[in-house]
Each structure stands twice: as structure tokens, then as C-alpha cells.
Amino acid sequence: MTRYPRNLIGYGPNPPAIEWPDGAKVAISLVLNYEEGGENCILHGDEASEAFLSEIPNAQPWPGMRHWGMESIYEYGARAGFWRVRDLAVSRNVPLTIYGVATALARSPVQVAAMKEAGFEIASHGLKWINYANFSRDEEARHMAEAIKLHTEVVGEPPRGWYTGRCSHNTVEIAAESGAFDWLADNMDDDVPSWFEHAGRQQLMIPYSLETNDMRFSAGTFHTSEDFFAYLRDTFDTLHAEGEAGSPKMMSVGLHCRLIGRPGRIKGLADFIDHVQARGGGWFATRSEIATHWKARHPAPPVGTPRPSTMSRDDFVARFGGVFEHSAWIAERAFDLELGPAHDTAAGVHNVLARAFRAAEEDERLGVLTAHPDLAGKLAAAKRLTPESTAEQAGAGLDALTDAERARFTELNDTYQGKFGFPFIIAVRDHDKAGILSAFESRISNDRDTEFATACTQVERIAQLRLEDMLA
């Protein structure tokens, strides 16, 4: 593997300048997963009963049999839990995004009517509430197309958002390729939306969360409504403080009819909504509202924007071959390292170039040192420096020396070269003229091993500064 597809950098230290409506510090997405009637069940053509997200500890699937208790728990979500959550949302005037499993929605026409009457957004949660990990790509794509068709028939319009949940490694790509969705949510990789480029288009990703999520009741990490409320409150308060400090984020709250819809748990959600509304600074929004806002304020970058990790070898070497002075071989070797999205930055490219430099034999690194010009030397006087070196030396005032300064630099250059066998190298942009001269006079007393290491460090620093200019 020489290209690593996972994105471990995201926005890094430079998050987008987010401005939520009305100056909100946190955008809050309340998501109600409607899965009841779409779960694993032999009545639905599945091989075994459901075993996930219920009140039954350590539940196991029953192959070839119906599981009356499991079915009853899911039925509770449709018969009682949904209405309890619906009533709370309506009474507090907060919007819900429904992640609706298409077959579950088809079996719940009264609940669908209630969702529409309340103005809830109804996104797709797949055809069935099952695990797609071992599906073929074609079979999963067929299920997705069937889910869209059934959803459209049941709801009256196609879904504009998608979340599979128990997805495969193909899910996001299949959904993006379809071009059917304004947003996808099968990512839990950030606190803000992002763009995913695939198959010639940019797909908006709105992250979801499994920790600000009532599924932790079934996992045994939340026990009381106070547990749920406290965790949601602390999350909101932390994000609110970050928003006040100039870095607004979003917060997803995952809900399930059969879990949060229990009378002993719903109070935790009610307390959280009350806390946000009392404190202020929270924007309760559907995911489509967040998507619309994001697209207007943070539009997708052009498709095919060149990135270091996707460049051809020739383009990569042409772009970065001169970062280390007259040493294109460093870029050639760096290209063969494992590159990914994290290397599409100045720091990322610098890291792989520096790795290639550090891994080289000593005589190769010496060749890089000797490729550098003397400071204020003959090449500079003859205007034979690279454009980068010319600009760097001029920026430090080395193109405007007095006769005495020039004579001193010439003397030091000759002495240094005679002692070490390579030119004095320093990242001149980190110093003024006096500082450079002082470092020159100090370092000339070093032993060769110390000075060789120091010169190599300075070569890497020069490369870093050049890349920061190139990839700002």
C-alpha cells in the first residue's frame, strides 16, 4: 500500500469559520431512528431474529425462529415510544430528523402521517435494519435503490438524506455515486460537516454520533435519565464554550423509539432540551437545514482539485522536486512512501520529504548540503541562485551588504567550507542579518558531526518554510 485512503487529518488545526444562524454556538441535530418493523425477523425473510439494541442482555439471534420477546420490545417502540418522543418534540417546538427504515415506515402508516404532520424531516435508514457488512456491492446497491423507491411511495417524496448504520465499507461510495442525497451520515469522524469527493462529485457528509446516543442504555453505560441528561449537557456546554471561543461545532443526539421512549428515560431528553433552550446559543435544526446552511457558507471544492497524495509521480516531482535544493531524488523517493489525505498539507509533504532525506546515506545527504549556495557568495553576486534562494537571501538583507559585511561573509564562508566541506546553511527567514552573522560565527567552532547534524536540521527547516508558502 502506497496510498492510504483513510482521512486522519480532516480540518486539522484550521477548522472552517462557521457562523450558524442567529449566532448560535452549537447546531443540534436530534435524530430519531425508526427501525421497528424493519429489524431482523423471519417474517421479513431474514434467517434469524434480531439481537441488537434491545432491553435483553446479551441477546443472541434465534436462527429460523421468531423471538417473541425481541419482537415485543421493538413493537413497544412503534406503539408507545414513538408517540412519547413525538409529543415531547412538538411540545418543545424542536425539529426531529427521522432515520426511517423503509420497510419499517411501510408498516407504520399512522406514525408516518404523524411525522409529516409535525414537520419532521424523514431521511432514509436503509431498506431493512440489518447488517450490510457482508453484502456484495451490487446487492447493497440494489437494496439502496429499493429503499429509495419504497420510501418515496410511503412518504410521498424521496429521501434527501441517508444513514445505513450497520453499513459496509462500500456504503458511502454507493450512496455518493447515486447522486440521490443532499447529505450522508455514515461517518462519525468529526464535530462539523465535511465534503467527500468520489466518482467525480462532491458529497456532503454530516457526522453522526454513537456516544451522545441512547443506544448506550442498551449497552449498559447509561442507566438513568440523569445519566443521559448529564452526558448531553456536558457535551453541549463544552461545544458551547468552544463556540464562544470562535469555533462553533455541531452535536448529534441519536434516539430510538424503543429506548428513549421509555417513561424512565424520556425525562433525560426533556431536561436536555430545556437546558439548551434556557441557556441559549443552540440551534435545533434538521440535518437538511444544516446541509442547506453548510452548502451556502462552505461550498464544495472543485472536483479534481490537485492534491499531493493523488498526484502522478511526474507531477509530484515537478511540484516538490526543488524544495530540497537541487535534490529532486528526495521527492522521487517520498512519492513511493505511503501517502494519504494527511499528507495533503505543508506539514504532510514536509514529513515525507524529510523522511526520504533522513533515510538517505550520509554521502547523499552531504550532496544535498553541498547543493546549497554560500550565503552572499559568488553565485548570489552572479545572480545564479534558484528563485527560492534568491528570495530568501534578499528577505534577510543579504543582497544589500556593505563592503565590510561582504568581506566578513566571504571570510567566514571560506573558513567554514575549508573546515567542514559543505557551505554554511541556515534558514535565513528565521533571522535578520545580524542574527545570521552571529550564528555563523558561533557554529564555525562546532565539530564536524555536530555541524553536519545542525546543517541537516536547517535544510529541513528551509524546506518547511518553502512548503508553507507553496501549500498555504
Reported as a single tens digit per residue, the pLDDT across 236-284 is 999 999 999 999 999 999 999 999 999 999 999 999 999 999 999 999 9
Backbone angles phi, psi at 321, to 5 degrees: -65, -20
pLDDT of 105 > 60? The answer is yes
Between CA 27 and CA 36, with CA 88 as vertex, the angle to 5 degrees is: 90
* pLDDT tens-place string over residues 24-52: 999 999 999 999 999 989 999 989 999 88
**pLDDT for 379:** 47
CA 391 to CA 366: how far, in whole Å? 24
Cα distances (Å, whole numbers) of residue 372 to 53, 65, 180, 433, 456: 64, 76, 55, 18, 11
Average pLDDT over residues 429-446: 92
CA 233 to CA 128: how far, in whole Å? 32
**pLDDT for 56:** 83
Cα distances (Å, whole numbers) of residue 201 to 53, 181, 182, 302: 35, 12, 12, 9
pLDDT of 118 > 70? The answer is yes
Q: For strand 26-34 and strand 97-100, is the pairing parallel, antiparallel, or unpaired?
A: parallel
Q: For strand 97-100 and strand 121-124, is the pairing parallel, antiparallel, or unpaired?
A: parallel
**pLDDT for 233:** 98
CA 82 to CA 41: how far, in whole Å? 20
**pLDDT for 382:** 41
Average pLDDT over residues 197-225: 95
**pLDDT for 55:** 86
CA 9 to CA 88: how far, in whole Å? 38
Choosing from 67, 151, 256, 372, the catalytic residue is 372
Cβ 341 vs Cβ 9: under 8 Å: yes
CA 1 to CA 192: how far, in whole Å? 29
Tell me if residue 350 is catalytic: no
**pLDDT for 400:** 67
- 116's CB contacts (< 8 A; 6+ apart) are 122, 155, 156
CA 319 to CA 338: how far, in whole Å? 18
Cβ 70 vs Cβ 54: under 8 Å: yes
Mean of the per-residue pLDDT values of the chain: 94
CA 55 to CA 218: how far, in whole Å? 6
Question: Residue 252 pairs with which residues in a beta bridge?
Answer: 29
**Cell digits of residue 452:** 553536519
Positive or negative torsion for Cα 18, 20, 22, 27: negative
CA 120 to CA 286: how far, in whole Å? 8
How far is Cα of residue 396 from the mean position of the Cα atoms in its chain? 39
Between CA 466 and CA 472, with CA 470 as vertex, the angle to 5 degrees is: 110
